[in-house]
Amino acid sequence: MADRTPWSLSGALRGMFAKKTIDEGTWEDLEDALISADFGPDITDSVIEELRAQVKKYSTTDPADLKRMLRENLEERLARLDPTLTLTARPAVVLVVGVNGVGKTTTIGKFARFLGRHGRTVVVGAADTFRAAAVEQLATWAERGGAQIVRPQQQGQDPASVAFQTVEKAIAEGIEIAIIDTAGRLQTKSGLMDELSKIRRVIEKQTEIAEVLLVLDATTGQNGLAQAEAFIEHAGVTGLVLTKLDGSAKGGFVLAVQERTGIPIKLVGQGEGIGDLTGFTPHVFVQNLVG
Ligand code: GDP
């Protein structure tokens, strides 16, 4: 990960930590760095206020202490939500939602392979039945990931019926995890939410839904989050997947998105390759962020 961290703050903070003592300029530099990394004004103010109080309490003037406090502060904030995926049910059904273009299909392929490598059996359901190209792309990725796939029998088939068949196959064949891809056409927001509700209802007649993962493109920052608002309100999202972090300079968005939604980040995509998906570990993330 270390060679692909455009979102690292270490460059912006270098000057600040190179100083001999903490002074007013230090706080200004820190504020600028946090704002430019897209932490947002609220988190920035709150982090700085807490660090000022801590520096005062321990009467330190050493920038190295401040750096350690910054790491601890950010890690503690990120760890407030549990990033663990709950995949213990049999089958564990994972619904993947998000706006087109954010990296949903790629993420499902990577996720299927990630699970396959951990010895889990996976079936993927192509319930985005209007995008024929997406179904083919998903099939390619699923194959690469060693997963089976349930495709629509014809273009535009009821997405809920594909979801149903996917879960049915998982139950009948003892496949451990069923990942369902869904549509992300924002032009028809209310239709899309109805479609998702129907998919949920159909699955819930068969088994519980283990996770609803909302995929967000980290390069779109706060804008992308606004676009995904409808999913957060209506889709029962249990976890976030941040994609394209390898192309994002906005490391602070990671914390902002968690604090704003109250939903934990569970997976992170950092590249276009099939191996470029990892679980989210606040400690590792903060080490890379602050340096
Ligand atoms: P979907 O429309 O949401 O299904 O999006 P796709 O899975 O088709 O991905 C859209 C584009 O984003 C493709 O070109 C992917 O290769 C790219 N992509 C997806 N995830 C990542 C990532 O983590 N990093 C980078 N750099 N590109 C990604």
> Rounded mean pLDDT of 71-78?
97
Final residue belonging to a domain, choices 78, 107, 141: 78
- Please report the beta strands in 172-236, taking only residues with DSSP state E, as ranges in sequence order: 177-181, 209-217
Final residue belonging to a domain, choices 78, 111, 131: 78
How many structural domains compose the chain?
2
Task: Give yes or no: residues 229 and 173 share one domain.
Answer: yes
The finding on whether 247 has its CB within 6 A of some atom of ligand 1 is yes
Query: In ligand 1, which atom is closest to the CA atom of 100?
Result: 2
Task: Give yes or no: residues 41 and 114 share one domain.
Answer: no
Beta bridge partners of 241: 215, 267
Indicate the residue type of 268: V
Does 44 count as an annotated binding residue?
no
Final residue belonging to a domain, choices 44, 78, 112: 78
Q: pLDDT digits over 7-55, tens only?
A: 888 888 888 888 899 999 999 999 999 998 989 999 999 999 999 999 9
- Residue 4: pLDDT band by 50, 70, 90 thresholds? low
For the beta sheet containing 122-126, the strands, ordered from the edge strand earlier in sequence to the opposite edge, are: 148-150, 122-126, 177-181, 92-97, 209-217, 239-243, 265-269, 277-279
Does 182 count as an annotated binding residue?
yes
What pLDDT sits at residue 222? 80
**Predicted ipTM?**
0.98
What pLDDT sits at residue 64? 94
Question: Which residue's C-alpha comes closest to atom 12 of ligand 1?
Answer: 103
Task: Give yes or no: residues 122 and 253 share one domain.
Answer: yes
What pLDDT sits at residue 205? 96
pTM for this predicted structure: 0.94
Task: Give yes or no: residues 71 and 97 share one domain.
Answer: no
Task: Give yes or no: residues 13 and 127 share one domain.
Answer: no
- The b-or-e profile of 22-52 (16+ CB within 10 A means b, else e) is beeebbebbbebbeebbbbeebbeebbeebe
Please count the other Cβ atoms lying within 10 Å of the Cβ belonging to residue 278. Answer: 16
| 67 assigned to some structural domain | yes
Domain holding 161, by residue range, is 92-281
| 83 assigned to some structural domain | no
Q: pLDDT digits over 102-135, tens only?
A: 999 999 999 999 999 899 999 999 998 888 888 9
- The b-or-e profile of 238-262 (16+ CB within 10 A means b, else e) is bbbbbbbbbebbbbbbbbbbbbebe
Is the pLDDT at 186 greater than 80? The verdict is no
270 CA distance to ligand 1 middle (Å): 10
Helices (H), 9-93: 10-18, 24-36, 41-57, 63-78
Q: pLDDT digits over 197-208, tens only?
A: 999 999 999 999
CATH code (residue 277) = 3.40.50.300
Which of the two residues, 259 and 144, has the higher pLDDT score? 259
CA atoms of 86 and 81, how far apart (whole Å):
14
Whether the CB-CB separation of 106 and 243 falls below 8 Å is answered with yes
40-to-3, 25, 56, 222, 260 alpha-carbon distances in Å: 26, 20, 24, 9, 10
Q: Of 272, 276, 280, which is best to mutate to test ligand 1, by the most ligand atoms within 8 angstroms of its C-beta?
A: 272
| 85 assigned to some structural domain | no
Whether the CB-CB separation of 276 and 3 falls below 8 Å is answered with no
What pLDDT sits at residue 10? 83
Task: Give yes or no: residues 51 and 100 share one domain.
Answer: no
Q: Which two tokens stand for residue 160?
A: 């809920």
Task: Give yes or no: residues 121 and 252 share one domain.
Answer: yes
- Residue 155: pLDDT band by 50, 70, 90 thresholds? confident
85-99, 195-209, 249-263: the lowest-pLDDT one: 249-263
> Rounded mean pLDDT of 278-291?
92
- Residue 1: pLDDT band by 50, 70, 90 thresholds? very low
What pLDDT sits at residue 148? 96
Task: Give yes or no: residues 271 and 152 share one domain.
Answer: yes
Task: Give yes or no: residues 70 and 135 share one domain.
Answer: no
CA atoms of 231 and 266, how far apart (whole Å):
16
Task: Give yes or no: residues 105 and 62 share one domain.
Answer: no
Task: Give yes or no: residues 23 and 53 share one domain.
Answer: yes
Task: Give yes or no: residues 48 and 168 share one domain.
Answer: no
